[in-house]
Amino acid sequence: MKTVLNTYQREYKQEKEKLNTSLGKRPSWLKVKLPTGENYTDLKNLMRRQSLHTVCEEARCPNMAECWNHRTATFMILGDTCTRSCGFCNVKLGVPSALDLDEPRRVAESVKELNLRHVVITSVNRDELKDGGASIFAETVCLINESMPDTTVEILIPDFRGVEEAFFTIMKNPPEILNHNIETIPRLYSVVRPQAKYERSLNLIHWFKEKGLKTKSGMMVGIGETNDEVLSAMNDLVTHGCDILTIGQYLQPTKEHLPVDRFVNLDDFKMFKEEGLKMGFKIVESSPLVRSSYHADQQARAIF
């Protein structure tokens, strides 16, 4: 089952589709190569052999060809079925299967086999779990640290419904970089992230920053926001202690998802980066095809 839009999301989608009859074809800078190549095939075979999931595949990331051919990927733990109905996401929605307690071991083995200098671990939302899956994150980080002590770890976590106990569980085996995406501006949360809260996400980033971690967040543009609203959200992030920011163009995964509102031009992406660095972000990745984990290994080397 794919994402199912609620009534309010469907009404918003229909309204946007009526307004955007002249959006036109994707601009040239949004064209990507099909994933091919020896490294791509090797990595795909590894994931299937270890029965692991990647957000690269589940979310149809446009950078999969580039990243996989550089032997980098973002592992997605806690299964492949999400409990939230975000209007932009292609990950399956439904009732998740039982926790796979052996998953952390297989992820750590794969990181070692790939000999990664930096690894990104993310997950689906598991709101039915008391800790939202935080214990599996902690165990995964622990095993990676044991087998690959020189590898830096970045985790891209859900909000765990704001449960502080889950945050403390993460800190039992803290990563080098704590990533949590706000995704969009507060006005659009009811359609883009209906089960999330803007302030809750900001407070999560602040909580982990106060514990001494490097923090990171990401936004997508072209889903109905204005540039001024993007800049305001960026200011909120840096005020709450966010170190690294990624900004990329929203692309509609299927016709059942929220429509693209606009194709943001390259000058605007450049402006977001320039303004973000002025605000105090240490690193800003801002261009159409940027996603949360794009150039994550380079960011890690730059910030440490």
| pLDDT tens digits, one per residue of 146-181 | 999 999 999 999 999 999 999 999 999 999 999 999
Asked if the structure places residue 243 within a domain, the reply is yes
User: What ranges in the chain are assigned the alpha helix state H?
Assistant: 7-19, 38-49, 55-58, 64-69, 103-114, 134-147, 164-172, 189-192, 198-210, 227-239, 266-279, 296-303
Asked if the structure places residue 17 within a domain, the reply is no
Asked if the structure places residue 20 within a domain, the reply is no
4: enclosing H helix or E strand: none
pLDDT at 65: 59
Residues spanned by the domain of 247: 32-303
Instruction: Check which CATH number belongs to the domain holding 173 and give it.
Output: 3.20.20.70
pLDDT at 297: 87
Report whether pLDDT(250) > 50.
Answer: yes
pLDDT at 304: 85
Averaged pLDDT for residues 277-289: 97
Token readout for 261 is 């509102």
Q: How many domains does the chain have?
A: 1
Averaged pLDDT for residues 126-147: 97
pLDDT at 1: 44
- Which range has the worst mean pLDDT, 76-90, 164-178, 219-233, 271-285? 76-90
Asked if the structure places residue 11 within a domain, the reply is no
Report whether pLDDT(72) > 50.
Answer: yes
Report whether pLDDT(199) > 90.
Answer: yes
Asked if the structure places residue 148 within a domain, the reply is yes
- Which range has the worst mean pLDDT, 82-86, 113-117, 253-257, 297-301? 113-117
Averaged pLDDT for residues 29-54: 65
Asked if the structure places residue 2 within a domain, the reply is no
Asked if the structure places residue 64 within a domain, the reply is yes
Averaged pLDDT for residues 210-235: 98
Phi-psi category of residue 151: left, alpha or beta, with phi > 0 → left and psi -120 to 50 → alpha: beta
**Cα–Cα distance for residue pair 74/228, rounded to 1 Å:** 31
Asked if the structure places residue 66 within a domain, the reply is yes
